[in-house]
Structures are given as C-alpha cells and as structure tokens.
Amino acid sequence: MALLPLLLSFLFGVLHIVSAQCPDYDAYSREMHEPYSEGKYQLSYQRPTAACRKFNSSDVEETIQDMQELVKDPDLFRLFENAFPNTLDTTVTWKGYAADDSTEELTFVTTGDIVAMWLRDSANQMRSYKSLLKADDSPDSLASLFRGVINLQARYILRNPYCNAFQAPTESGLPPQDNGYADTDKVTPPYNTSFVFECKYELDSISAFLQLSYDYYSKTEDADFFGKFQWVNAVQTILNVTEGLLIGTYADDGSVNESPYTFQRDSTSATETLTNTGAGNPVKGGTGLVRSAFRPSDDSTIYQLFIPANMQFSSYLGKCSKIMEAHDASLAQRMSDFASSVKSGIEAHGKVQHPVLGQIYAYEIDGFGSSNLMDDANVPSLLSAPILDYLDASDETYQNTRKFVLSTWNPYYMHGPVLNGTGGPHVGPGKAWPMSIITSLLTSDDDSEIVAGLQMLVSSTDGLGLIHESVDTFNASEWTREWFSWANGLFGEMLLDLRDRKPQLLQTSFQ
C-alpha cells in the first residue's frame, strides 16, 4: 500500500506530460468539432480525446452509453454527452496525496476557464456525480475524487475561512495563478496570494463544504473518513466564523461593532466592493441569520442577511451534525442547535408580503425592515431551495416565490425569443443564465415547463454543444464563458434526474 501514493503521483505526472501535447480546452471549446450531432442544431462534439481527459470513470462512461438509449433527440443527447463528463474531462487538474500524510487524498478541481479552485464550484461540480457515487477505496474511483476535494477544502477553510477561491496545493507543483482583479484588494483578515486566489467572504462557500460532505456521506455512509484528517477541525472553524457573523453593525449602547471581515477593491462596478470602508451596509443583530458579504455570483450583497445562503447553511449544517455524532457529540449538538436557530431566523425574518403573489421569501434583508426582492441565477438561489434540501417544492411560500422568480416581477428575470431565465448583475440585464433554467427544471413537476426548458437549452449553445454562463435573450451567438464546468455538470445532473422522475420526457423530439 505504501507504493500506491507514489504510483498515483507518477501516473498524474505522466498525464501532465501528455497534457502538454493536448489542445488548450479554453480555445478548443470555442471551436466546432466533428462529428456533429445529427439533429437540426448540428451540435459540436466537445470531449477531448481519451488520452487528453483529466480523469476517467467507467461509471460515467457507462452512464453516457445508457443515456444514449434513453434520450431520443440527437441534439439533446449530444449536449448531455459533452456536458455531463466535462468536470472529469477538463477540470480535475491534479490529484494526489498530502505531503505530510501519504494516506490523505487531495483533489484540485478548477472552475474551467479560471485555473483556481472555488469552494462552491468544486462542491457543485462533484455533486454532478452524486447519483453514481458509492463506497469505494480505490484511488481511481469517484469516491476518491470526493474525498480529495473534501480534504483539500478543509485545508483551505482552516487557513483562510473567509476566502472563496484558492491556488493549487504545493504538492501539485502547479504555480500560483495571478488574479489581476485582486491587485487592489484590501481585506481583513489578510491572506497570502500564493495560497488564496480571491478572498470574497460568501456564506455559501463554506456551506458548500458542508453540502459536499453530506453528499459523500449520504451515498457511502463512510463516517470513519470524516474523523481521519482535518474535517472536524474545519467544521469547528466554520462554526467559529459564522457565530461571529451573527452580530449586527451596532452594539446595544449604539457603538459600532468591529466587523470580523472587511473587503475593499478599486473598481468601477459597485458589486465588486463593499460600502462603509469595506464592512458593507448596516445589519441588525438578533435575527439569528448569518451575514454574507458576497453572493454565489461573487457579487457583493446589498443587505448582508442573504436568505438563500442561510437556507443552504441551515440545511447542511444540520445534516452534517449526524456525521459529527460519531466524532464529537458535543460539537454535533452545537451544529444541530445552530442549524435550527438559523432556520427559525429565516422563517421569522426572511419572508415578505408581495402585493400580488402573497407571502414570498426575500433574497436579502438587513433586519431593520429593508428587503431586496429579486433572485439571481447562481445557486444557492431562492429558486434552488428544494435542491438545497431546505424545503419541499410543494411548500406554499416556495411556490409563491417560484412564481415571483420566474416572472417579470423579478428585476433579473430576462426574457426574449432565444430563452427565458434568471440572470443577475454579474453580467447585467439582457443575459439569461442557462443555469437558472436547469434549476427551474430540477424543481418542476410540470411536463410542459420541463419540455419548454429543454428546448431552450438545446437551441441556445451557438452550435458549440456546451452550457454557457449566460446567453443574450435575443441573440444566441452572444454569450459569456465558453468553459463553465459547474453549469455543464448541473445540466447532466438534471437530465439524470429526469431519467429517474420523468423518463418519458427523454423521448421528446426537439427537431
């Protein structure tokens, strides 16, 4: 067994040599490649050759073959064939073991066109394969990939829990990447750019670590793994950080509390920095909600009591308390109690009365009575609450909220002849994110809505056969990000969900 880490490192070294001969996928994904799909959209084939794929999984390959029999539309299948394996094909940039422990697996997963590891993105990229996950000690298994991402995220959180994106581990031999956008950043607590790529504090980023942990546990029941390395300490750190962010801007005597985190960036965009010398807009304490300086889009919050991230945090903190019971009963109880308290805060303060739709969840609140009514495409979103395991999609307040999100009442709902969906300030008005359409299908039981959504997705890739970040609702050839692995994986996850829930819809033709 002592030879296994050396062998794996050697194999990834060989892959690194091979990769030097492989095309740059950033450029590759902008081009058309034969064979094209046989439908009217003639979608490009976008998988690298087998030798150029970063990680190979027989389970994933078998699933693609099985889906070819179930998905009758050739364009829809081509989109699945390209998108579902995209994380494994292109973004498992390094896999190995910790320098100080030859049994601690590490997996460095990049976002796609940015060579850095976002906590949120990598957790969701792994979630794409949750349906195939099973207990497996093999280093070439999906389970090993999950363990490696969990271990590496734990390392990141222990050292810089307020940060959202990180450099490759030193063991990989990969050099740190320059983030020119962060050159002017003034952040407290400070960080080292050789370890951190960007340090925007987002509650959803550390919540994503909990989500990933529970995803692994729920499919493998491998509670022992979580006691072997740094997971317990990472959860302890998360609790310390989030409990510290329950405070409001002002103390009871009117004095200003010191903010645990501040962020300032020289930018012409208001969403790239925080007001009030980096502390953000004032927040009232005592709501039971945890503050978040930024959203999952990496845009700054207007009001820091960001409801979707609190939903995610409450959900997975509570679920992970079950894992912790095997390692620290006292800490498990603290997690469970905190999760319940946050949920109570959401239900007490996170709902507002809409004049037409009735009671809905607000996107953000400040605790003083102000609320921001909108939704953004990025998950966690209000639309995604059921897939965060926070509530059931049949919940009345959720259904009202869903109607709001998918209507022109939502200021970031984009519609036009190409596609209709939620966008956000990250790329601005007129650009709908396919991710939001995918999320709407994951949370829908309406066959006609699902078929219409699939039609929009399959027809709006500009022939490239990949899921873009955003698409102009009036011009499918105007889009952002050719290589966005999280969105590709989410599409694959959604189609597998339809296979299980509504297999008859996979027989639909979009010709």
What are the φ and ψ backbone dihedral angles of 33, each rounded to 5 degrees?
-135, 135
Cβ contact 475:462 at 8 Å: no
CA–CA gap between residue 96 and residue 16 (Å, rounded): 13
> Shortest CA distance to 91 belongs to which of 439, 465, 487?
487
Bridging pattern class, strands 92-98 and 351-354? unpaired
Would you state the pLDDT for residue 113? Answer: 86
Cβ contact 76:454 at 8 Å: yes
Q: Where are the alpha helices (DSSP H) in 84-200?
A: 86-90, 119-127, 142-159
Q: How far is CA 51 from CA 20, 58, 120, 358, in A?
A: 11, 15, 28, 55
> Shortest CA distance to 82 belongs to which of 48, 109, 112, 111?
48
User: To which residue do tokens 């793994």 refer?
Assistant: 225
* Strands of 69-119, DSSP E: 92-98, 101-109, 117-118
3-class secondary-structure state, position 481: coil
Would you state the pLDDT for residue 17? Answer: 46
Cβ contact 401:363 at 8 Å: no
CA–CA gap between residue 508 and residue 39 (Å, rounded): 13
Q: Kind and range of the H or E element at 116?
A: none
pTM greater than 0.75 (yes/no): yes
Could you read off the pLDDT of 79-122 as tens digits, one per residue? 999 999 999 999 999 999 999 999 999 999 999 989 999 999 99
Cβ contact 378:296 at 8 Å: yes
Low-confidence residues in the chain, pLDDT < 70: 1-20
